[in-house]
Amino acid sequence: MNFDLPAEHRMIRDQVREFCEEEIAPIAQEIEDEHRFPREIFDELAALDMMGVPLTEEYGGLGGDTLMYAVVAEELGRVSGGIGLSYVAHTSLGAKPIELFGTHEQKEEWLRPLAEGDGLGAWALTEPGSGSDASDMDTVAEKDGDEYVLNGTKQFITNANVANSVLVKAVTDPGAGYDGISTFIVDPEADDGFEVTTVWDKMGLNCSPTCEIALDDVRIPEDRLLGNEGEGWTQTMKTLDGGRISIAALSTGLAQGAYEAAKSYSGEREQFGKPISKFDAVRDKVVDMYRKVERARLLTHKAATMYDGGEDVTRASALAKLDASEAAREVAEDSVQVHGGYGYTTDFPPQRFYRDAKLMEIGEGTSEIQHLVIGRQLGL
Ligand SMILES: Cc1cc2nc3c(=O)[nH]c(=O)nc-3n(C[C@H](O)[C@H](O)[C@H](O)COP(=O)(O)OP(=O)(O)OC[C@H]3O[C@@H](n4cnc5c(N)ncnc54)[C@H](O)[C@@H]3O)c2cc1C
C-alpha cells in the first residue's frame, strides 16, 4: 500500500488548505458565535469546483474519487467543523444518492445544481421518535393518481432551511417493514406543505443549520420517487456506507486542527522557565494526539480507497467513523487541557473543536450503533 497521496490529490489538498486558511479560519469562531450559515463560503467553494468532488462530470461534478473527497472534507474540518458538516451532508447525503439511484432526468434537474454548487442538498431520515432505529418511521407517502402525498415530521436535518432539494424517506407500504420505505425528492421552495419548524441551538456546529421539518400534505409528482418504491432502506444503507467515510474524514480534520493548535501553543507557552512542551506530561499528550490523528487518517483513507475499488465498505467505513470520531473528541479535549485557562476561552480554537467533535460520535449512526454494525460484520 502506498501511503503517499497521489499528486492530483495533494494539489487539491494544498489548494483547499490555502482557501481554508485565508477565507474560513479568520471567521470560524465568528460564524459560530453568530449562528450564521456562511453562504458566501459555499459560493466560493463552488467557484473552486469543490461542491461536487466525488460526483460525475457528466452532471457537473468534479469527477474525483472518494479519497479526494475525504481529503477535502478533512481540510474543511481542520478549520471549521460546521462548514465541514454542511459540506458533507450536501455531498454524501443530499447529492450522491441522486447520482447512485436517480434517472437521467432526475440527475439533470436535481443533481446538476448540487454538483455545480448552485444549490445545497439535504437528506431527511431521522424523526422525533426514530433515530438509531430509523426504519421505524412515521412519515408516510400515499399514492394519489400520478402524485404522492407526504405527511410527517423529520428531525435534525442538516441544511434543510438552505437546501435546494431534500431527499425524504417515507413509508409507502406500511406492512412491508424495511421493504416498505421509499425516497422522494422534495423541493423546499416550490412544494406547498413543506415547512422548517425549528432551527436548533446546539452545543457546537452552530454555523451548520440543524432543522426540524414538517410535511403537511406535500403533493409531489410521481417522477420525484428516487429509484423504485420499497428501495428506500437499501439506498439508506448504501448512502451511510459512503457518508460514514466523510464523517471520519471530517473528524480527522477536527483532530488535526486541535493537535496543531496544541503543538504550537505548547512550544510557545512558558512555565517554570521553559516551554511547557518540555514537560513529559505535556509532550506525551501531544505525541498521543499525533498518534490518534495518524490512525484516524489511515483508517479513513483505507475505507475511501476500498470504496473507490468497488469493495464492500460497511465494516471499514463504520470502523473509520468509530475511531476517527473518538479520536477527534479525545484530541480536542487534550488540546483544551494543553491550553490551560486559555483553552477554556473562545479566543482559542480548542473549545470549538471539542464541542464540534462530540457530534461526530452521534450523527450518521452513534458509536454504539457502529459497534453493532462492526459486531455483526465480525459475526458476533
Ligand atoms: C447536528 C446534527 C445533524 C444531523 N443531521 C442529520 C441529517 O442531515 N439527516 C438525518 O436524517 N439525521 C440527522 N441527524 C440525526 C442523527 O443521525 C441522529 O441524532 C442519530 O442517528 C441518533 O439518533 P437519536 O438522536 O434519535 O438517538 P437515539 O437513537 O434515541 O439514541 C439515544 C442513545 O441510545 C443509544 N442506542 C439506541 N439504540 C441502541 C442500540 N440498539 N444499542 C445500543 N445503544 C443504542 C444511542 O447510541 C444513544 O446513545 C443529525 C443530528 C444532529 C445532532
Q: pLDDT digit string (tens) for 294-326?
A: 999 999 999 999 999 999 999 999 999 999 999
Cell representation of residue 353: 473543536
Task: Summarize the confidence of residues 28-51 as an average pLDDT.
Answer: 98
What's the pLDDT at 74?
Answer: 98
Residues present in the chain in total: 380
For the chain, domain boundaries: 7-120, 122-231, 233-377
Confidence grade of residue 4 (pLDDT, cut at 50, 70, 90)? confident
pTM of the model: 0.98
Percent of the chain with pLDDT over 90: 99
Flag whether pLDDT at 11 surpasses 80: yes
Per residue in 53-110, pLDDT tens?
999 999 999 999 999 999 999 999 999 999 999 999 999 999 999 999 999 999 999 9
Task: Summarize the confidence of residues 286-290 as an average pLDDT.
Answer: 98
Residue (of 40, 187, 170) closest to 113 by Cα position: 187
Per residue in 119-162, pLDDT tens?
999 999 999 999 999 999 999 999 999 999 999 999 999 999 99
Longest CA span, the chain: 79
What CA–CA distance (Å, rounded) separates 204 from 29? 11
DSSP string, 301-368: HHHHHHHHTT---HHHHHHHHHHHHHHHHHHHHHHHHHTHHHHTSTTSTHHHHHHHHHHHTTTTS-HH
Classify domain 122-231 by CATH architecture: Beta Barrel (2.40)
Residue whose entry in the numeric block shows the C-alpha cell 489548494: 15
Atom of ligand 1 nearest to the CA of 169: 11
Contact in structure between 87 and 49 (CB atoms under 8 Å): no
What CA–CA distance (Å, rounded) separates 147 from 210? 29
Flag whether pLDDT at 1 surpasses 70: no
What CA–CA distance (Å, rounded) separates 169 from 233? 8
Contact in structure between 276 and 335 (CB atoms under 8 Å): no
Q: Cα of 133 to ligand 1 centre, how many Å? A: 9
Atom of ligand 1 nearest to the CA of 368: 47
Alpha-carbon Rg for the chain in angstroms:
21
Contact in structure between 224 and 148 (CB atoms under 8 Å): yes
Flag whether pLDDT at 24 surpasses 90: yes
Active site residue 270: no
CA angle 271, 272, 274 (to 5 degrees): 70
Classify domain 7-120 by CATH architecture: Orthogonal Bundle (1.10)
Confidence grade of residue 242 (pLDDT, cut at 50, 70, 90)? very high
Residue nearest to atom 44 of ligand 1 (CA): 368
From the CB of 156, is ligand 1 less than 6 Å away? yes
From the CB of 135, is ligand 1 less than 6 Å away? no
| DSSP-assigned letter for residue 5 | P
Q: Cα of 353 to ligand 1 centre, how many Å? A: 20
Atom of ligand 1 nearest to the CA of 372: 42
CA-CA distances (angstroms) from residue 85 to 40, 121, 167, 182, 253?
Answer: 16, 12, 17, 25, 11
Flag whether pLDDT at 182 surpasses 80: yes
Contact in structure between 303 and 242 (CB atoms under 8 Å): no
Q: 233-377: what CATH class?
A: mainly alpha
Cell representation of residue 173: 407500504
What CA–CA distance (Å, rounded) separates 248 from 162? 24
Q: Cα of 104 to ligand 1 centre, how many Å? A: 33
Task: Summarize the confidence of residues 39-60 as an average pLDDT.
Answer: 98
Q: Cα of 366 to ligand 1 centre, how many Å? A: 6
What CA–CA distance (Å, rounded) separates 161 from 47? 22
From the CB of 120, is ligand 1 less than 6 Å away? no
**What is the overall mean pLDDT for the chain?**
97
* H or E element at residue 218: strand 210-221
Which amino acid is it at 72? V
As beta bridge partners, residue 196 has 213
How many other C-beta atoms are found inside a 10 Å radius of the C-beta of residue 378? 8
The helix/strand/coil state of 129 is: coil
Flag whether pLDDT at 2 surpasses 80: no
